[in-house]
Amino acid sequence: MRTGRIFRGAPLLAGAAVGVFIGHTVAYLVAFPAAAQRASEMADAGHAYWPNAIWLLFQFVAFAVATVAIRSLRERAAVEPGRPERPLALFLWLYPRLASLQVAGFVVMEIAERVAVGEPLHSLWTGHLVLIGVASQLAVAVMVAFAMIVVARVAEGIASASRSPLVHARARIPRFVPLVVASRAARPTGAWGLRGPPEDLFA
């Protein structure tokens, strides 16, 4: 399996979107521990859409899990059983991409929210929100990467388990091996065969 092949494209973007939403929530919980202040800050920063975004989050989670699982099943079914790709190699491919997408997504989201409601951009620094948000996205990206790798490995295990009975059944089918029996060229003395009858019999 080529490293990261099953995560490219749509699964990577869906996983990053999930990470942005989760990291966004963590950032506001840390930056504004008091519930009243947090609610006020989120209302001022244009988060009226947030209840609808929760349903979108579930859709992204379902899409990422389903896509990674299907790609893993296809990948494992298309190749001969062998050593699966090491989780560390997958993590080293997946994490930097998730982290960069999530940090960029968080910053763009916060700017767009404030522009949409006319909130000044300097409010991004209230409670060190930007710094906490970036740190939370980097931390959440670790969890998202591990979760996607676990889904891929579980799907690969299911594919390998379903393929093993077929391999064993194929191995148990007896193969016809033709046996070649060499006949002896020599015949007993006096027997009818290549030699003729004795000459004195016709004398």
Say what the pLDDT of residue 48 is. Answer: 78
Angle between helices 129-172 and 50-78 (to 10 degrees): 30
Distance CA 15, CA 31 (A): 24
Say what the pLDDT of residue 97 is. Answer: 96
Distance CA 195, CA 37 (A): 118
Summarize pLDDT for 23-67 with one digit per residue, the tens. Answer: 999 999 999 999 888 888 888 877 878 777 788 888 889 988 998
When comparing pLDDT for 184 and 77, which is higher? 77
CA angle 140, 98, 84 (to 5 degrees): 100
Helix (H, G, I), strand (E, B) or coil at 186: coil
Token pair 């899409």: residue: 63
What is the per-residue DSSP string for 53-80? HHHHHHHHHHHHHHHHHHHHHHHHHHS-
**Entry pTM:** 0.71
Distance CA 144, CA 137 (A): 10
Say what the pLDDT of residue 152 is. Answer: 87
Say what the pLDDT of residue 96 is. Answer: 96
Say what the pLDDT of residue 179 is. Answer: 43
Say what the pLDDT of residue 73 is. Answer: 81
When comparing pLDDT for 161 and 174, which is higher? 161
Summarize pLDDT for 111-169 with one digit per residue, the tens. Answer: 988 888 888 888 788 878 899 999 999 999 999 999 999 998 888 778 777 655 444 44
Where exactly are the structural domains of the chain?
Answer: 5-172
Distance CA 98, CA 89 (A): 15
Q: Do residues 106 and 137 make contact, with C-beta atoms less than 8 angstroms apart?
A: yes
Say what the pLDDT of residue 83 is. Answer: 56
Residue 94 pLDDT grade (very low, low, confident, very high; cuts 50, 70, 90):
very high
Considering only CA atoms, give the Rg of the chain.
35
